[in-house]
C-alpha cells in the first residue's frame, strides 16, 4: 500500500511541491503553498489521504526520469501490450504569461506503443483529509468542492464522478501516437486547450534549462565525476525555494518517519536558519546569484524583525512564526508511523547556534559581492553583542532534542563564529563602521578558551557533544569548516577518527550523536552528517578516504538522484522527510570540496573557514552602503 521514498519524483513551481509515484499516482500535494494543508496525502494514509493516479489498467513495469536539466518528470510504463509515458509538471510563473495564477498540475499521457488501456483515479481530500469534497461534473472535466476551497480537473478524457460524489474516474484506450491531457487548477479552471498545454510544457522546459547551472567544464567548481548529480541537487534546492520570499523549505513533506513505526515524525515545511550559510555557499558557487541574494535579504530580515534574545531557529516560508505543533489523529502515518504532526515546536526552542549561522550567512554573502546598509550593520552588532552576553547559557542546539537544555559544544562554536565573522567584517570595513571590537575580541577568546578546555575530551581524543561530556556529536565535524581550528590540528583529526569509530556505519553513513535524546526509538543516520564527514576528510587531505565514503553515500540516492533526511542502516531505505534540502546542500558542498582538492591548485576551498579577508580571493568588495529611504518599505 505504501511505496518506498525512492519510488517518488518531485515536481514544483516555487509555491508548492507534489510527489509523483512510479505508479503514476500523486500521493502528496499541499495547495496552494507547500505549508498549506494537503489536497492529496496518500503517502500519510493510503486509505484516507487522497491521490490522483494515471496508470495502465493491466500489470505494468515503470521507470521515472527527469527531462534533462529540468524538473519536468516522466514516468514510462511498459505492459505486455504496449508502452506509454506520463509527463508531469507545474507551470513556473517566470515561464508563463502571468505571475499571479494559482498553482496548477499538468499531466500529459502519450501512448508510445498500443493500443493500451489507461485509468484515471481522482480522489482529492482537503485539509489533510479531514474534509471529503463533493465532486461534480464541470465543463471539460470535474470540480471538487469543499467548504472553503475547490480544485478543478480539466481533461479530454471522459471523467465521471462516482455515485457518492467522493471521487471521479475515467478509462480510455489509446492508440500508438495518441496523446491526452489533464490539467488540475486550484480555485480556478484551466481551459481545455491541449495545444496551449504543449506550449506551456515547452516553456517550462526552457525555463529550467535556462536557470540550470551552465558551465565551462574547464573552469567549473563542480568539475568532477559527480557534476551532474550535484546539478540535480541544485534543481531540488530550487524546487524548495519559495519564489515569493526566497525562503528555503527544509523539505516539502511532514511526518515521514526517521524511525519506521516510531514517533520521530516532524513537519519540515519551514525555513531553518541552520541551513543558511551552506545554502548561500552552494547557490553562489553554482552561479544562482539571485536566489543567494534573496536568501541574504531574508537573513537580514531575520536580524531586523526580532529582538536579539528572541530570534527563533525556524520560520514559516512567508515570514510568519505561528508554527504551533499539533497532531492529526485521523491519519495512520506513512507505513503506520504515527503521530502525523503539523507545525513544529522547535519554533519555541532556544538555539544559540542560529546566531552564528545567521552572521556567517551574511558574511559569506558579502564575500560573494553583497553589501549591508549602515542600519543592517547596527542590527548585526546588536546580535553579536547579545552573543557576548549569552554565549555561556545552555540551549538545545542544532539537533533540537526535546529534553533539558545543555552546554552544547556546537552551539559554542557557532557563537565563536558569530564573533569571529563580525570582527572580520568590522576590520575589513574600517572607518565605515562602528563596533566594540575590543569587547568582541575578548569575548571571542573567552569562548574559544571554554571550548578547548571544556568541549574537548582527552579520553575520547575528540570534541564532544556537551561541556564535560564524553559522547560524540557529528556537528563537530564542522569545526575545521568553520575555521575554529585548522584542518591539520590533532584535535580535528582525532574528532574525525572518533566519529568514524563511534558514529559511522560500515556503509559510510553517520549518526548525529551518541546517547539518549529524550525520545523513544532510534534515529537513523543523517545524510547531511555523512556529507560533513566527507568534507572534513577532504579538508584534512584524506581525499581518497573522502571519495570512497562519498561514493558509498551516493548508493542510497534514488534513481532520480533524490535524497531524504536519513537512511535506515539495516535496510538501506531512505527515511525522514523527502526530498531534504539539507541533504542536497551537503551533497553540493561535498562535491565542491572534493573537486577543489582534486584540482591542479592542490586544493584551496575552505570558504566558510577562511581565516583572512584577502584582496586576491576574488570575493572582496563593498561591505557597507548607505540605505535607500524606500528600501525597507519595498522589503516589507
C-alpha neighbours within 13 Å on the C-beta side of residue 467: 21
pTM listed for this prediction: 0.94
Q: Which residue has the cell 531557529?
A: 313
Report the pLDDT value the prediction gives residue 301, as an integer from 0 to 100.
87
SS3 label, residue 134: strand
- Per-residue DSSP letter, 485: S
What's the confidence (pLDDT) of residue 634?
Answer: 39
pLDDT of residue 432: 83
Q: What is the pLDDT of residues 87-97, one digit of tens each?
A: 999 999 887 76
Contacts of residue 190, defined as CB under 8 A and 6 or more positions apart, other chains included, come to 104, 152, 154, 183, 184
3-state secondary structure string across 186-246? ECCCCCCCHHHHHHHHHHHHHHHHHHCCCCCHHHCCCCCCCHHHHHHHHHHHHHCECCCCC
Question: Which of 512, 509, 478, 516 is CA-nearest to residue 495?
Answer: 478
Cite the residue boundaries of each domain of the chain with CATH code 2.70.98.10: 5-211
| CB-based contact 271:315 (threshold 8 Å) | yes
Strand intervals (E) in 25-80: 25-30, 38-40, 51-56, 61-66, 73-78
Produce one character per residue of 183-218: b if its CB has 16 or more CB atoms within 10 Å, e if not: bbbbeebbebeeeebeebbebbbebbeebbbeeeee
**Contact, 466 vs 406, CB < 8 A?**
yes
Q: Which of 586, 314, 622, 390 is nearest to 475 (CA)?
A: 586
Angle of helix 490-502 versus helix 527-539 axis, rounded to 10: 150
Fold for domain 219-620?
A: Glycosyltransferase (1.50.10)
> Tell me, what's the pLDDT at 97?
61
Cis peptide bond upstream of 581, omega within 30:
no
Give the C-alpha separation, 542 to 221, whole Å.
20
CATH of domain 5-211: 2.70.98.10
Delimit the CATH 1.50.10.10 region(s) of the chain: 219-620
DSSP 370: -
- Residue tagged 581518497 (cell numbers): 544
- At 314 the three-state DSSP class reads strand
CB 203 within 8 A of CB 95: yes
- Quick one: 625 exposed, middle or buried, by C-beta within 10 A (0-12, 13-18, 19+)? middle
Instruction: Pull the grid cell for residue 315.
Output: 520560520
| Radius of gyration (C-alpha) of the chain in whole angstroms | 25
Among the listed residues 23, 27, 24, 20, the one whose alpha carbon sits nearest the alpha carbon of residue 46: 27
| Residue 321 φ/ψ, nearest 5 degrees | -125, 20
Which residues, 6 or more positions from 602, have their beta carbon under 8 angstroms from its beta carbon? Answer: none
The contacts of residue 178 (CB under 8 Å, 6+ apart) are 110, 111, 114
Cell numbers standing for residue 578: 523527502
* 84, 297, 536 from 54: Cα distances, Å: 11, 41, 45
Which residues of the chain are modeled with pLDDT < 70? 97-100, 216-218, 598-621, 626-636
In our burial notation (b when 16+ CB lie closer than 10 A, e otherwise), range 519-537 reads eeeebbbbbbbbbbbbbbb
Contact yes or no for 123/51 (Cβ under 8 A): yes
How many helices and strands, by DSSP H and E, does the chain display? Answer: 14, 26
Cell of 612: 583572512
Amino acid at each position: 500500500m505504501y511505496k518506498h521514498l525512492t519510488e517518488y519524483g518531485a515536481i514544483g513551481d516555487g509555491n508548492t511541491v507534489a510527489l509523483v509515484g512510479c505508479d503514476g499516482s500523486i500521493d502528496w500535494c499541499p495547495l496552494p503553498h507547500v505549508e498549506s494543508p494537503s489536497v492529496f496525502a496518500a503517502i500519510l494514509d493510503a486509505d484516507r489521504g487522497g491521490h490522483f493516479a494515471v496508470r495502465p489498467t493491466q500489470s505494468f513495469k515503470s521507470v521515472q526520469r527527469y527531462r534533462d536539466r529540468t524538473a519536468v518528470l516522466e514516468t514510462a510504463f511498459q505492459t505486455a501490450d504496449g508502452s506509454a509515458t506520463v509527463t508531469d509538471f507545474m507551470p513556473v510563473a517566470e515561464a508563463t504569461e502571468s505571475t499571479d495564477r494559482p498553482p496548477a498540475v499538468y499531466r500529459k499521457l502519450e501512448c508510445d506503443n498500443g493500443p493500451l488501456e489507461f485509468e484515471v483515479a481522482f480522489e482529492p481530500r482537503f485539509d489533510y483529509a479531514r474534509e471529503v469534497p463533493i465532486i461534480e461534473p464541470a465543463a471539460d472535466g470535474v470540480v471538487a468542492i469543499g467548504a472553503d476551497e475547490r480544485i478543478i480537473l480539466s481533461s479530454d478524457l471522459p471523467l465521471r464522478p462516482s455515485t457518492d460524489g467522493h471521487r471521479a474516474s475515467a478509462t480510455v484506450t489509446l492508440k500508438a501516437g495518441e496523446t491526452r491531457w489533464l490539467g488540475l487548477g486550484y480555485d480556478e479552471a484551466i481551459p481545455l486547450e491541449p495545444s496551449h498545454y504543449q506550449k506551456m510544457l515547452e516553456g517550462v522546459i526552457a525555463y529550467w534549462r535556462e536557470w540550470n547551472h551552465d558551465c565551462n567544464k574547464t573552469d567549473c567548481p563542480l568539475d568532477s565525476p559527480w557534476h551532474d548529480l550535484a546539478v540535480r541537487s541544485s534543481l531540488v534546492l530550487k524546487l524548495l525555494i519559495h519564489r515569493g520570499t526566497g525562503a528555503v523549505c527544509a523539505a516539502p513533506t511532514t511526518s515521514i518517519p526517521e524511525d519506521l513505526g516510531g514517533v520521530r515524525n516532524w513537519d519540515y515545511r519551514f525555513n531553518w536558519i541552520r541551513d543558511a550559510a551552506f545554502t548561500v555557499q552552494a547557490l553562489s558557487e553554482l552561479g544562482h546569484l539571485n536566489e543567494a541574494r534573496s536568501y541574504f535579504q531574508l537573513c537580514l530580515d531575520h536580524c531586523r524583525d526580532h529582538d536579539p534574545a528572541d530570534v527563533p531557529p525556524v520560520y514559516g516560508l512567508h515570514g510568519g512564526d505561528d508554527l504551533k505543533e499539533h497532531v492529526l489523529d485521523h491519519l495512520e502515518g506513512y507505513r503506520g508511523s504515527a503521530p502525523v504532526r503539523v507545525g513544529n515546536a522547535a519554533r519555541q526552542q532556544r538555539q544559540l547556534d542560529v546566531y552564528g549561522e545567521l552572521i556567517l550567512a551574511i558574511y559569506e554573502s558579502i564575500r560573494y559581492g553583497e553589501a549591508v546598509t549602515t542600519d543592517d550593520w547596527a542590527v548585526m552588532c546588536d546580535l553579536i553583542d547579545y552573543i557576548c552576553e549569552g554565549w555561556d547559557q545552555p540551549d538545545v542546539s542544532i539537533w533540537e532534542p526535546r529534553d533539558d537544555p545543555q552546554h552544547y559544544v556546537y552551539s559554542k562554536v557557532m557563537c565563536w563564529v558569530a564573533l569571529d565573522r563580525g570582527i572580520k567584517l568590522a576590520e575589513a570595513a574600517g572607518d565605515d563602521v562602528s563596533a566594540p571590537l575590543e569587547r568582541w575580541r575578548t569575548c571571542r577568546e573567552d569562548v574559544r578558551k571554554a571550548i578547548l578546555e571544556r568541549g574537548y575530551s582527552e579520553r575520547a581524543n575528540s570534541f564532544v557533544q556537551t561541556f564535560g561530556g564524553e559522547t560524540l556529536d557529528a556537528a563537530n565535524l564542522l569545526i575545521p569548516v568553520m575555521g575554529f581550528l585548522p584542518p591539520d590540528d590533532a584535535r580535528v583529526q582525532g574528532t574525525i577518527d572518533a566519529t568514524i569509530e563511534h558514529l559511522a556505519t560500515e556503509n559510510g553513513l553517520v549518526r548525529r550523536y551518541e546517547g539518549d535524546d529524550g525520545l523513544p526509538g532510534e534515529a537513523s543516520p543523517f545524510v547531511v552528517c555523512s556529507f560533513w564527514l566527507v568534507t572534513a576528510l577532504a579538508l584534512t587531505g584524506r581525499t581518497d578516504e573522502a571519495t570512497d565514503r562519498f561514493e558509498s553515500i551516493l548508493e542510497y540516492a534514488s534513481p532520480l538522484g533524490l535524497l531524504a533526511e536519513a537512511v535506515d542502516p539495516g535496510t538501506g531505505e531512505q527515511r525522514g522527510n523527502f526530498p531534504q534540502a539539507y541533504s542536497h546542500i551537503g551533497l553540493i558542498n561535498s562535491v565542491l570540496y572534493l573537486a577543489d582538492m582534486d584540482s591542479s591548485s592542490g586544493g584551496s576551498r575552505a570558504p566558510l573557514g577562511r581565516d583572512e579577508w584577502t584582496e586576491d580571493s576574488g570575493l572582496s568588495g563593498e561591505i557597507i552602503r548607505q540605505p535607500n529611504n524606500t528600501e525597507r518599505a519595498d522589503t516589507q
